[in-house]
Structure 1
Amino acid sequence: MEVGNPDASSIKALSVSQVVEELKELWGLTFPVTTMNFLVFLRQVVSVLFLGRIGSLELAGGALAIGFTNITGYSVMVGLAAGLEPLCSQAYGSKNWDLLCLSLQRMILILLFATIPIGFLWINLDNIMVFLGQDHQITRMAAIYCIYSLPDLLTNTLLQPLKIFLRSQEDTKPLMYSTLVAVGLHVPLNYMMVVALGMGMQGVAMASVITNLNIVGLLCGYVWVWGRKGEMRWTLKVGEVCGGVGPVMKLAIPSCLGICLEWWWYEIVTVLSGYLSNPTSAVAATGILIQTTSMMYTVPLALSGCVSSRVGKELGSGKPRKAKAAAMVALGCALVVGGINVTWTVILRRTWATFFTDDMSVKSLVSSALPIIGLCELWNSPQTTGYGILRGTARPAVGARINLGSFYLVGTPVAVGLAFGLRVGFVGLWFGLLSAQIACAVSMLYMVLVKTDWDAEALKAKQLTGLEMTAANSAEEETMGLLGEENSH
């Protein structure tokens, strides 16, 4: 393979059998991860329901705390851990078990250091929110929730890297089963702590921490007993782990920025909705719409992570054609998922809000914006999948720049201009999101479909894993096939 040569597979279309084979591979990974994401979504819904059972003040404080912890903590840790995706998947494809093991341990070390500033922010939530002019009583409740959620930071230093570690090895069923068991215990845990023991908001926070701890315990047990511990050196020198933190950070920081920039935008919309006329209804409707997008996002998020693993593995194996096939099939699936979301949001636009509220003004706002949310998901699905492909090719910085430009240089001005400048109101905010998603999707697809040289990415994968590719039969056959096709042309 020569770096300058185009991939021969760009000339020859995929056969039906290749598409079917890749669909089986991709959805065999994606279905368990989608189930896991949906279960995590249900866990948060359960927590909110128990907060509402305690009282309206606790519900408001818990909602404020959940938003604050998402922005300052969980989004950062999920984003940093995403830097593992190209390293682990390409190391797995090239059978570099030492790098696979080292990368996991380096990311755990990075996240441990990240918990220090995040924990400082959580401890000082009360002072921060009072400074920003938030209600003192609500802030006091939010501060209590944050304090009791602090142990979850340590839990996530293991949870987030373990998810990617297993997914990169195309081993996703343990993620589903461990989450199923832990979330199944989440309701009785909340009932015991909130109702039986009367611990109130503290009980809800502690139940969430214990649920995540249960997931981590199950995953660690699986890795130790059934994982690849025989092929990896789990006992390593401190110098080996610390010495390679720099290269991991070069992938982790842009991955973090790319994920956080999109995640934070939804919180900005919530704040902006509070400045509209009838802010109470606008904020309530925004909350319903964000919960709806979170539910719809479970599939694209799983698809993004799994295609990242598939692309990284095939590049690490020296198979650029299969990597490209995985990317193209995933993008096709993303468009189908987006189309499904458009369809149901249009059909249920007048009835969806009744599942959440009886307030007529809130239902009217949700009904007006829900089809726009569906259109957003039509573009969000391929752009999320495209970002996964870029992470699989170790180019998260490209995705971060696209997200910055799309959400903050396109989406924010459009949202503010329509909602407040032209006085379009509530739906103007969501047209801003739509413009951001369109800009983001077009840019991501351009980078994947036009600017990606798959042969060159396979060579870069060799350099990233530090492994000189050998003439293994499968890789050699594909390389010879590519050279033969290029010569014929």
Structure 2
Amino acid sequence: MAEGICCEFLKGLQKIKIAEELISLGKIACDIIIISLISQFKSIISMLFLGHLGDIELAGGSLSAGVANITGYSIVKGLAMGMEPICSQAYGAQELTVFRKIYKKTLRLVLVACFLISLLWLNIEPVFLLLGQNQAIISVAKVYITYSIPELIAQAYLNPLRIFMRTQNITKPLTISVTCAMIFHFPISYILAVYFNLGVRGVALASACNTVITILGSLTHLYLSRTAVRPWDRQAIDMRLEDWKPLLSLMVPSVFSVCLEWWWYEIMILLCGQLSDPQASVSAMGILMQTTALLYVFPFSLNQGLSTLVGQALGAEQPARAQRTAIMGIGVATVCGLLCFAFTIVVKNVWGKLYTGELEVLALTSAALPIVGICELGNSPQTASCGILTGSARPRIGACINFVSFYLVGLPVAVFMAFRLDMGFLGFWYGLAAAQASCACMMICIVVWTDWNHQAERARGLTQTTEEQASLLS
């Protein structure tokens, strides 16, 4: 009888632990969902003002925004992600000196990258010419991307700061800062673009102002908080190469992991131009990409929450907790994928009408939305698994899986089905479904077969001396 009572007690304790993990994940994920949704409105407002300025301004701004994403913002985001596993594990281990040092090193590296990207943006005209754009659009795009450099620099500060705060479980102040910035975004855009007649320059500068307000709000919280770890201290950073190797070894695959997926979508847009009905296909692709961006908010929030919690658990030398969080996260992500699939089925005949009345575009959108839902069945668990790999400092595996899934599986399938099987536009989305399915299978297998005790040992080395870090990361 005593043994039975003991078993029941252990089961009850396990349920309490799972509930606690779910609550912790929910607190982080819900705030990130709000931040991500608000960030979507930032780009929408920018596009609205560009459209108000004229068709050429809208085309030039859209073109430069796409190029800026590929050549700038994706790289900045990927570089910043390199600090995430070390920060979450260092915070879990309460190695606060390492925690601060990694933030400062990341900030320096991202700023150096911004300087190089800025040089490219200042000499971007040959890139636009390669894309076959006319001179009127190029002249606007050049101005827009040049005045987007302040936004790039602001993003270089914001991305590491967000990760620094999130890995301390500080997400509510970030949500408040982003919300305040968004409240001011529309009036600032109007004042700069319309009242001061700066046009596309004003729209670009308004985006930078939005990011700066978010940064100032976040820094204000860190300054006033009595419990938060602050990024500033008087400790010097060691400039020896050996001390930078662990961070660089995480940054490089993180950049590739982010960029490989972003670039795949841009390739699909270019390939749409080769179809028999390019105008309708490109328009439908734009609508569906906006839809996938909206749906991606939810698995992305799980990704961020799981990365933080798994990293903290490993840093605190609690491998069982890390494993429990990982399994629970994949389960939640699977449910999220099913809900997204159901959403695409329900709205498939009405969603496109929110954007256009063109019958060809509506037909393509309606036919493709269920396939988009199938993509989300794979995308949600694979995105969550990617967060688990990031939290356990294994972005290289994630980058390799992304490359294999999207470029060795998805892209050939998409091209074959679109052009050889004459499936056209739908073929591209079947290619994405193949990529997401293969990516999800490989990611989940890696997570399931993880030796969590070994990962806890790696975390201990990652937050200690340079010599141990180099050997454990090799």
Which of 461, 464, 467 is residue 462 of structure 2 equivalent to? Answer: 464
Query: Which shifted more, 118-127 or 143-152?
Result: 118-127
Partner of 1:326: 325
Separation in 1, partners of 2:177, 2:243: 31
Partner of 2:29: 30
TM-score normalized by the length of structure 1: 0.90
Would you say the 8 A contact 1:91–1:316 is kept in 2?
yes
Separation in 1, partners of 2:335, 2:79: 29
Separation in 2, partners of 1:353, 1:281: 12
Q: Deviations over 1:288-330 (max 9, x none)?
A: 1111111111111111011001000010001011111111111
Q: CA deviation at 1:57?
A: 1.1
Cα distance change, pair 232–125 in 1 and its aligned pair in 2 (3 A): closer
Aligned ranges 1:60-459 → 2 under 5 Å: 60-226=59-225, 234-239=233-238, 244-450=243-449, 452-459=450-457
Separation in 1, partners of 2:229, 2:55: 53
State the SS of the aligned residue for 2:322.
helix
Would you say the 8 A contact 1:105–1:241 is kept in 2?
no
Cα distance change, pair 460–230 in 1 and its aligned pair in 2 (3 A): closer
Cα distance change, pair 426–230 in 1 and its aligned pair in 2 (3 A): closer
TM-score normalized by the length of structure 2: 0.93
Would you say the 8 A contact 1:419–1:426 is kept in 2?
yes
Separation in 1, partners of 2:25, 2:180: 24
Q: CA deviation at 1:453?
A: 0.5
Partner of 1:470: none
Separation in 1, partners of 2:261, 2:45: 25
Cα distance change, pair 204–424 in 1 and its aligned pair in 2 (3 A): same
Q: CA deviation at 1:195?
A: 2.8
Query: Which runs of no fewer than 5 residues in structure 1 stay unpaired?
Result: 1-11, 468-489
Separation in 1, partners of 2:57, 2:116: 26
State the SS of the aligned residue for 1:275.
coil
Separation in 1, partners of 2:274, 2:218: 44
> Is 2:52 the partner of 1:53?
yes
Give the residue type in structure 2 aligned to 1:118: I
Partner of 1:4: none
Give the residue type in structure 2 aligned to 1:331: I
Q: Deviations over 1:24-75 (max 9, x none)?
A: 0100111011110111111111111111111111111111111100000000
Cα distance change, pair 167–14 in 1 and its aligned pair in 2 (3 A): same
Query: Which shifted more, 12-21 or 308-317?
Result: 12-21
Separation in 2, partners of 1:33, 1:416: 35
Q: CA deviation at 1:379?
A: 0.8
Cα distance change, pair 102–240 in 1 and its aligned pair in 2 (3 A): farther
Separation in 1, partners of 2:24, 2:229: 25
Would you say the 8 A contact 1:106–1:244 is kept in 2?
no
Would you say the 8 A contact 1:14–1:325 is kept in 2?
no
Separation in 2, partners of 1:128, 1:306: 37
Q: CA deviation at 1:132?
A: 3.6
Would you say the 8 A contact 1:312–1:392 is kept in 2?
yes
State the SS of the aligned residue for 1:344.
helix
Q: Deviations over 1:420-441 (max 9, x none)?
A: 1111100001100000000000
Which aligned runs of 4 or more in structure 1 are off by greater than 4 angstroms? 227-233, 240-243
Compare relative contact order (CA 8 Å, sep 6+) and give the higher one, 1 or 2. 1
Partner of 1:476: none
Q: CA deviation at 1:236?
A: 2.1
Would you say the 8 A contact 1:98–1:233 is kept in 2?
no
Separation in 2, partners of 1:238, 1:334: 39
Separation in 2, partners of 1:407, 1:191: 40
Separation in 1, partners of 2:12, 2:337: 24
Partner of 1:487: none
Partner of 2:471: none
Q: CA deviation at 1:233?
A: 6.2
Q: CA deviation at 1:197?
A: 2.4
Cα distance change, pair 13–326 in 1 and its aligned pair in 2 (3 A): farther
State the SS of the aligned residue for 2:147.
helix
